[in-house]
Amino acid sequence: MTTVITYGTFDLFHIGHLNVLERLRAMGDRLIVAVSTDEFNSGKGKSSCFSFEERVRIVSALRCVDLVIPESNWEQKVHDVKAHEVDIFGMGDDWAGKFDFLKPHCRVVYLPRTPAVSSTSIKLDIFEAHSEKQAQVQREQGVRSLA
C-alpha cells in the first residue's frame, strides 16, 4: 500500500486545495493530511478565518482524504513520515525544494499550484466587494440627504 502525506492550513477551502489533495491521493492508496493548528499558524504569521477544528472537519469530509492529523510544528515531518510509513510526501510547488530534507525517508513531489486562487485572494476579493458596497451606500445616503 502506497501512503501519501501532505501538510497545510486549508483555510477557506478552495479548488486549489482540492486539486492538490486529489492529485496526491491519485499517487497512492492512502492520503494523510496534516492540518496546521491555530497556534502553529500564528507562528507562520497566518490567521485563518476557520478554526483548526472546522478546517479538520472540512478536510476529513473529503473522499480523497483517509486520515487527518494535526500539524503543530515545522519539525514533525520526519517523525510523521516514519510513524505512518509514508512513501510519498507532496506539496504544491510554491514549496518547491523546501522539504527536500525528507528525500532520504520518502519520495518528495511538488505539484503545480492551481493558478489564480488562494485563501488570501479570496479574503481580498470579499474585502474589496464589501468596501465597494459600503461606498455605494454612502453615496446613496449623500444623494438622499441633498434631496
> Cell for 135?
461606498
Instruction: Establish whether 46 is a catalytic residue.
Output: yes
Instruction: Establish whether 98 is a catalytic residue.
Output: no
Residue type, 55: R
The strand pair at 3-8 and 88-92 is best described as parallel
36 binds ligand C2G (CB under 6 A): yes
Region binding ligand C2G by CB under 6 A among candidate stretches 2-10, 25-33, 60-68, 100-108: 2-10
- Give whichever of 16 and 147 is closer to ligand C2G, judged by the CB atom: 16
Residue tagged active-site, from 44, 82, 103, 133: 44
Alpha carbon separation from 60 to 10, 33, 34, 54, 114 (Å, rounded): 11, 9, 11, 10, 21
86 binds ligand C2G (CB under 6 A): no
Judged by CB under 6 A, how many residues of this single chain contact ligand C2G?
19
Region binding ligand C2G by CB under 6 A among candidate stretches 13-21, 56-64, 100-108, 122-130: 13-21
62 binds ligand C2G (CB under 6 A): no
Angle value at C-alpha 71, between 82 and 6, nearest 5 degrees: 65
> Cell for 3?
501512503
Region binding ligand C2G by CB under 6 A among candidate stretches 10-18, 58-66, 81-89, 122-130: 10-18
Residues interacting with ligand C2G, by CB under 6 A?
6-10, 16-17, 20, 36, 46, 71, 91-92, 94-95, 113-114, 117-118
Q: Which residues are catalytic?
A: 44, 46
